[in-house]
Chains A and B, each alone.
Chain A
Amino acid sequence: MKRLLMPLLCLFLLVPITADAQRVYLDITSPDARKILFAVPWFQNSGLATSQQAYGRNLAVTLAKALEFHGIIDIASSAAQQGSTADDWKRLGVDYATVGRYTIAGDQISLEIRLFDAATGDMLLGKSYNGPSTQTDVMLFKFTDAVINELTGKSGIAGTQIAFVSQPPNKREKEVFITDILGRSLRQVTRHQSLIVSPRFSPDGVFLAYTSYHSGNQNLYITDLRQDKTTRALSRRPGMNLAPAWAPDGNSMIVTLSHNGNPDLYLINRSGEILKQITRNAGINVSPVFSPDGRHIVFVSDRSKKPQLYLMELATGNTQRITYEGSENAEPSWSPTEDLVTYSSLRGGIYQICTVNPFKDRSETQITTDQTHHESPSWSPDGNQIIFAKRDGAGHKIYGIMKNGSYQRLLFSLPGSQSYPRWQIKTY
Chain B
Amino acid sequence: MWSRVRALLPALMILSLVLFSGCADSDTDEAMKPSTGDAGAMGKEESLESKGVGISEGRTSEGMLPVYFDFDSSDIRQDQVSRIQVNADFMKGDDGTVRIEGNCDPRGTNEYNMALGERRALSAKKYLVNLGVPEERLTTISYGEERLLVHGQDELSYAQNRRDDFVIAE
Q: Does B157 contact A (CB under 8 A)?
A: no
Q: Which residues of A contact B126 (CB under 8 A)?
A: 261
Q: Does B141 contact A (CB under 8 A)?
A: yes
Compute how far the CA of A388 lies from the CA of B81 in the bound complex, rounded to whole angstroms.
40
- Contact residues, B77-116 vs A (CB, 8 A): 99, 108-112, 114-116
Q: Does A217 contact B (CB under 8 A)?
A: yes
Q: Does B27 contact A (CB under 8 A)?
A: yes
- Contact residues, A188-223 vs B (CB, 8 A): 195, 197-198, 213, 216-218
Q: Does A292 contact B (CB under 8 A)?
A: no
Complex contact B119–A420 (CB within 8 A): no
Compute how far the CA of A385 lies from the CA of B15 in the bound complex, rounded to whole angstroms.
47
Shortest beta-carbon distance, B128 to chain A, in Å? 14
- Which residue of the partner chain, among B26, B27, B139, B147, contacts A238 with CB atoms under 8 Å? B139
Q: Mark B154-167, 1 if CB is under 8 A from A, else 0.
A: 00000000000000
Q: Does B127 contact A (CB under 8 A)?
A: no
Complex contact B111–A287 (CB within 8 A): yes
Q: Does A318 contact B (CB under 8 A)?
A: no
Q: Which residues of B contact A394 (CB under 8 A)?
A: 151
- Which residue of the partner chain, among A218, A261, A286, A331, contacts B141 with CB atoms under 8 Å? A218
Q: Does A240 contact B (CB under 8 A)?
A: yes
Q: Does B146 contact A (CB under 8 A)?
A: yes
Shortest beta-carbon distance, B58 to chain A, in Å? 16
Give the interface segment out of A32-40, A84-92, A300-308: A300-308
Complex contact B111–A262 (CB within 8 A): no
Q: Which residues of B contact A331 (CB under 8 A)?
A: 109-112
Q: Does B142 contact A (CB under 8 A)?
A: yes
Q: Mark A263-296, 1 if CB is under 8 A from B, else 0.
A: 1000000000000000000001111000000000
Q: Mark B25-46, 1 if CB is under 8 A from A, else 0.
A: 0110000000000000000000
- Which residue of the partner chain, among B115, B146, B169, contacts A240 with CB atoms under 8 Å? B115
Shortest beta-carbon distance, B22 to chain A, in Å? 14
**Known contacts being A239-B122, A242-B115, is A328 close to B108, with CB within 8 Å?**
yes
Compute how far the CA of A171 lies from the CA of B25 in the bound complex, rounded to whole angstroms.
10
Classify chain B: how many residues form its interface, as a range: 20 to 34
**Known contacts being A218-B141, A394-B151, is A263 close to B110, with CB within 8 Å?**
no
- Which residue of the partner chain, among B110, B140, B144, contacts A376 with CB atoms under 8 Å? B110
Q: Name the residue of chain A whose CB is nearest to the CB of B27.
A: A172
**Known contacts being A170-B26, A171-B26, is A262 close to B140, with CB within 8 Å?**
no
Q: Does A136 contact B (CB under 8 A)?
A: no
**Known contacts being A172-B26, A284-B116, is A239 close to B111, with CB within 8 Å?**
no
Complex contact A330–B146 (CB within 8 A): no
Complex contact A243–B111 (CB within 8 A): yes
Q: Does B70 contact A (CB under 8 A)?
A: no
Q: Which residues of B contact A262 (CB under 8 A)?
A: 119, 122
Complex contact A286–B122 (CB within 8 A): no
Complex contact B141–A330 (CB within 8 A): no
Q: Mark A217-248, 1 if CB is under 8 A from B, else 0.
A: 11000000000000000000011101100000
Q: Which residues of B contact A380 (CB under 8 A)?
A: none
Q: Which residues of A contact B110 (CB under 8 A)?
A: 197-198, 331, 375-376, 419-420
Complex contact B26–A240 (CB within 8 A): no
Compute how far the CA of A218 lies from the CA of B100 in the bound complex, rounded to whole angstroms.
13
Shortest beta-carbon distance, A56 to chain B, in Å? 44
- Which residue of the partner chain, among B26, B119, B147, contacts A284 with CB atoms under 8 Å? B119
Q: Name the residue of chain B whose CB is nearest to the CB of A174.
A: B146
Q: Does A344 contact B (CB under 8 A)?
A: yes
Q: Does A258 contact B (CB under 8 A)?
A: yes
Q: Name the residue of chain A whose CB is nearest to the CB of B169.
A: A216
- Which residue of the partner chain, among A197, A351, A376, contacts B114 with CB atoms under 8 Å? A197
**Known contacts being A170-B26, A286-B111, A300-B111, is A263 close to B140, with CB within 8 Å?**
no
Complex contact B115–A263 (CB within 8 A): yes
Q: Which residues of A contact B112 (CB under 8 A)?
A: 284, 286-287, 300, 302, 307, 328, 330-331
Compute how far the CA of A316 lies from the CA of B142 in the bound complex, rounded to whole angstroms.
32
Q: Does A256 contact B (CB under 8 A)?
A: yes
Complex contact B143–A256 (CB within 8 A): no
Q: Which residues of B contact A351 (CB under 8 A)?
A: 109
**Known contacts being A330-B111, A331-B109, is A195 close to B143, with CB within 8 Å?**
yes
Q: Name the residue of chain A whose CB is nearest to the CB of B117.
A: A240
Complex contact B118–A195 (CB within 8 A): no
**Known contacts being A172-B26, A217-B139, A258-B140, is A242 close to B109, with CB within 8 Å?**
no
Compute how far the CA of A344 lies from the CA of B116 in the bound complex, rounded to whole angstroms.
17
- Contact residues, A349-394 vs B (CB, 8 A): 351, 375-376, 394
Other contacts beyond A197-B114, A197-B144, A262-B122: 8, CB < 8 A: A195-B147, A218-B142, A256-B115, A258-B115, A287-B112, A300-B112, A330-B111, A344-B109
Binding site for B on A (CB under 8 A): 170-172, 174, 195, 197-198, 213, 216-218, 238-240, 242-243, 256, 258, 261-263, 284-287, 300, 302, 306-307, 328, 330-331, 344, 351, 375-376, 394, 419-420
Q: Which 8 A-B pairs have the closest CB atoms?
A: A263-B115, A330-B109, A284-B115, A286-B115, A287-B111, A307-B112, A330-B112, A286-B111
Binding site for A on B (CB under 8 A): 26-27, 72, 99, 108-112, 114-116, 118-119, 121-122, 126, 139-144, 146-147, 151, 169
A-B contact pairs, 11 of them (CB 8 A): A171-B26, A174-B146, A195-B147, A197-B146, A218-B142, A239-B118, A239-B141, A240-B118, A261-B126, A300-B111, A331-B110
